[in-house]
Structure 1
Amino acid sequence: MAHHHFLKNLFFFFLLTHLNIFSFNLSKAQMVPAVYVFGDSLVDVGNNNYLPISITKADFPHNGIDFPNRIPTGRFSNGKNTADFLAEKVGLPTSPPYLSRILGNNEGSFLTGVNFASGGAGIFNGTDEKYQQSIPLTQQVEYYSMVHEELIQQMGYSDVQNHSSKSLFVIVIGSNDIFDYFGSSDLRKKSNPQQYVDLMAITLQGPIKQLYNTGARKFVVAGLAQIGCSPTQRVKNQTGKCNEEINYWSRKYNQGLKTIMQDLKSELNGMSYSYFDTFSVMQNAIQNPASYGLTEIKSACCGLGTLMAMVPCLPIATYCSNRGDHLFWDPYHPTEATARFFVDAIFDGPLNYTSPMNVRQLIAV
C-alpha cells in the first residue's frame, strides 16, 4: 500500500509543479502591463456610442456582422479593428472604451488599459468637436491624466511609474484632419497644404509630451494610410482612380511625423517608439492584393451605389458576403481582414514598414 501512496503523492507532486509552470506560462503570455489607445474611428471601440448627439457612430447594423454574436459595438468595421488585434498580440483583453466606465455601467478595471479613441477626432479640434460629436485628441489625453491620477491612488506613485513605462501608448490619428482640409475652403484659405501638414505634425508633439510627462515611455504611432484610395475618394473620380493629391499630402504629413518622432526621442529621456508606415503597407496591398488574400481593393463591402460608396454603411445599405477579400468595409474604413494584416505588419514587420523598430522589439526595449 505504501508504494501506492508514494506513487499517488508523486503524481500529485507532479501535477502541482507542472500546473504551476503552466499558470506561470499563462501570465507570461501578457507581454505588457497595459495598452492605452488614442485616436479616431480606426481604433474607436465604442466611445462614440456614449456621445448623445454624435452622428459619427457605428452602433447599428451592418457593423459588427463578423464580431462575436454578430453585434454592432461602435467599431467602424465588420468585426474587430486594429485596437483589438494589437491587444490580442500582447496577450491582453481589448482596452475598454473610457466612456463606458464614466457614462455606462462598466465598472471594469483600467489596469490593463483604456481606449480613448473617438470616431471623427483629429489632431486639431475641428468642427465636430464644437458640436460635441467626437472627443478631440486634447480631451482624450486629459481623460488619460484623470485615469493616471486614479491609478496613483490605487497603486502608489512608483508602481504606476513602473506600470506606465512598460505599457504601450498607441496613437492613430490624422486622416480626419486631411479630409477636413480638402473639404473646407476656409481651411485652404488659411494655409497652403504644406503649412497645414507641417502644423499637424508639430501639433501632435503636444499630446505626446503630455503623455510622456505622466510616465509614458513606449509609443506606437501610425502614419496615414493612402486615404486618397478609400472608396469615398475614388467615387469622386469618374475612372475610379485614387485621389493622388490627398495621397501626396498624406505622405508629406507622414514624413513630418517621422521627423517629429525622431526629434522627440532625442529630446525626451528614455522615450522609445515604433512608427508604422501604414501608407506603404496599404500601397503594397493595392498593388499585390493576392499576397494579402484580397480580390477587391476599390469598392466598399457595405454601402450603396458606385463602388458601394454613394451611401455609407447604414441599415438600408447592402453588404458583401466575401468580406475577407475586401480591403474596405465601408467607404472610409478597412475590413477586419485588413486590420489584421496591418497589425501583423506593425508587430513583427520589417524595417521598411516599421521604424526604428517593430512593436515586438519596442516591448523588449
Structure 2
Amino acid sequence: MASNSFPNCFMVLLMLCLLLPLSATARTNAALRASTISTAPAVYILGDSIADVGNNNHLLTYLKSDFAHNGIDFAGGKATGRFSNGKNSADFIAEKLGVPSPPAYLSVSSSPNSSTAFLNGVNFASAGAGILDSTHNGECLSLNKQISYLSITYAAIAQQIGEEQAQQLFAKSIFAITIGSNDVFAYVKSKGSNSTPQQLVASLISNLQGQLKGIYNIGARRIVFIGVGPLGCTPSQRRKSDAESCDDVANSVADLFNQAVASLLQEMKSQNSDMNYSFYNTSLALLEIIQRPSNYGFSEVKAACCGLGELNAKVACTPISSYCSNRRNHVFWDFVHPTEATARIIAADLFDGSSPHVFPLNLRQLSAL
C-alpha cells in the first residue's frame, strides 16, 4: 500500500496545480461580470426624442424620423424612429445595465403577448414630448400620457405575475426620464412673451413634481433623471447668430431647469426613504465636450452632420439632406440631437461618472442597491 500512496498524492497535487489557475481565472471572470452587469431586471424609459425608439412611428405626427438618413449606422442601416445616426441614449443605458433595449410601447401594446414583453422593460419616450401638455399638443405622447401608459403596463404585469411580484419588479428596475427640452425650446421660440425664465421653470417643476410622484406611486423606486443639455449650443440655435455662438438665454433657462430638478429630486428623497435616484447634468457634461472636443475625439461642435442650410441646421435631417461621411467626429447628428458617438459618451459618464456630472449616485451605484 505504501508503494501506491506516492503516485496518488502526486496526482492530487497535480490536479490542484491545474485547478488553481482555473479557479483564479474563474474568479477574475466573475469579478469582471459583476463590474459590468447590474442587478436591475429591466429598464423603463420616459421622455422625448432623445430616447424615442419608435413610438412616434405609430402616431399621426410630423415629428418622425423613420426615414433616411436616420439610422444609417444602426444595425441594418435602416431608420427605426430614433433621431440619431445609430443608437440613442435609451439604447446605451440599457446596454450599460446589461438588459435588452426596451421596445417602443406603441409597437408592443396591442400584441397578444404584450404583458410578457412588459416584464423586460418598455420605452414610452415620444419625440416632441414635454412636461406641459401644451408642448406639441396632439403631435406626441406627453409625459402625462406616458405615465398613464406606465400605469397600464404595471396593471398588465400584476395581472400576469401577481401584485407582489410586480411590486418587486418595479422596485428593482431602473426608471430613466429625459424631459424638459421641448418646453424650454417652446419658451425660447416665444421669446418669453408670457413669463420670465424663473416663472417658466417654476411652472415646469410644479407639474414635474406631480408627475414624478405619480411614477413613484406606480412603483418606481430607482429613478434616473437626465437633465436637459446646453440647448443654446445646438446647431438650430447657433445658426441664429452671425457669429454662430451659443444662445445665452436658452442655456440659462436650461441651467435653471436642471438646478430645480436636482432640488426636486433631493426633496422627494427626503420624503421617501425607499426612493433612490441619479441626476445627470447633461448641460454641464456636454458643454465640456463642446469646449474641449479633441479630448473626446470630436472636431465639429457647431454644425449638424445631417441637414441643409447654415450649419446644416436650417432644415432637419431628411432623405434629401446632405450628411457628413464621418459621424464619429460630429457632436450633433441633426439640428438638435446628438450623434451616436455623443450619446455613447454621455451614457458611459452617467453609468460610471461622479459629481458634478452625476449625483448623488451614478447609474452603476443606483442599479446595485
Same fold (TM over 0.5): yes
Query: SS where residue 182 of structure 2 aligns?
Result: helix
Shift of 1:193: 1.4
Residue pair 2:188, 2:249 contacting (<8 A) in 1 also: no
- Which residue in the other structure is 1:50 paired with? 58
Aligned to 1:178: 184
Q: 2:205 aligns with which of 198, 201, 204?
A: 201
Q: Are the equivalent residues in 2 in contact too, given 1:276–1:355 (CA < 8 A)?
A: yes
Counting only pairs closer than 5 Å after superposition, residues 162-311 of structure 1 correspond to structure 2 as 162-184=168-190, 188-311=192-315
One-letter code aligned to 2:154: H
1:49 Cα deviation after fit: 0.1
Residue 91 of structure 1 corresponds to which residue in structure 2? 98
Q: Secondary structure at the match of 1:219?
A: strand
| Per-residue deviation, 1:192 | 1.6
Residue-pair matches, total: 345
In 2, Cα distance between equivalents of 1:288 and 1:192: 32
1:102 corresponds in structure 2 to 109
**1:272-298 superposed Cα distances (whole Å, 9 cap, x missing partner):** 000001011111001110111100000
| Aligned twin of 2:5 | none
Counterpart Cα distance in 1 of 2:228 and 2:336: 13
Cα distance in 2 for residues equivalent to 1:38 and 1:289: 29
Structure 2 CA distance for aligned equivalents of residues 350 and 290 of structure 1:
21
Render the CA deviation track for 1:278-337: whole Å, top value 9, x for unaligned.
Answer: 011111001110111100000000011111111110111010011001000000100000
| Distance in 2 of aligned mates of 1:78 and 1:272 | 33
Aligned structure 1 segments of 4 or more residues deviating by more than 6 angstroms = 25-28
Aligned to 2:352: 348
Aligned partner of 2:10 in structure 1 is none
The structure-2 alpha-carbon separation of the partners of 1:300 and 1:242, relative to structure 1 and needing over 3 Å to count, comes to: same
- Aligned position for 1:6: none
TM-score, length of structure 1 as denominator length = 0.90
Q: Distance between the aligned counterparts of 2:57 and 2:38, measured in 1?
A: 29
The aligned residue for residue 166 of structure 2 is 160
- Quick one: structure 1 residues 148 and 218, their matched pair in 2 at CA, closer, same or farther if it must change by over 3 Å? same
Distance 1:43 1:166 in 2: 21
Measured at CA, do residues 149 and 105 of structure 1 come closer, stay the same or move farther in structure 2, by a change above 3 Å?
Answer: closer
Shift of 1:103: 5.1
From the superposition, tell whether residues 154 and 328 of structure 1 become closer, same or farther in structure 2 (CA, over 3 Å).
Answer: same
Contact 2:135-2:186 within 8 A present in 1 as well: no
CA distance in 2, matches of 1:106, 1:327: 39
State the Cα deviation string for residues 147-166 of structure 1 (Å, max 9, x = none).
Answer: 00001011111111111111
Q: Which amino acid aligns with 2:94?
A: A
1:94-149, Cα deviation, whole Å (9 max, x unpaired): 110000013579856111100000000000012522xx210000000000000000
Instruction: Indicate which of 117, 123, 142 corresponds to 1:136.
Output: 142
Q: Which residue of 2 aligns with 1:332?
A: 336
What residue is the counterpart of 2:74 in the other structure? Answer: 67
Instruction: Name the aligned partner's letter for residue 111 of structure 1.
Output: L
Residue of structure 2 equivalent to 1:33: 41
Q: CA contact under 8 A between 2:39 and 2:368: conserved in structure 1? A: no
**Do the aligned partners of 2:38 and 2:368 also contact (CA within 8 Å) in 1?**
no
SS in 2 for 1:133: coil
Q: Alignment RMSD, CA only?
A: 2.3
CA contact (8 A) 1:100 1:106 kept: no
The residue that corresponds to 1:119 in the other structure is 127
SS of the aligned residue for 2:119 comes to: coil
CA distance change for structure 1 residues 165 and 105 in 2, over 3 Å: closer, same or farther? closer
Q: For 1:192 and 1:155, how far apart are their aligned partners in 2?
A: 48
8 Å contact from structure 1 (residues 327, 337) kept in 2: yes
Contact 1:301/1:328 (<8 A) preserved = yes
Question: Per the alignment, in what secondary structure is the counterpart of residue 262 of structure 1?
Answer: helix
CA distance in 2, matches of 1:155, 1:103: 19
Name the aligned partner's letter for residue 86 of structure 2: G
CA distance in 2, matches of 1:153, 1:106: 13
Partners of 1:105 and 1:238 lie apart in 2 by 55
Q: Hey, what does 1:7 align to over in structure 2?
A: none
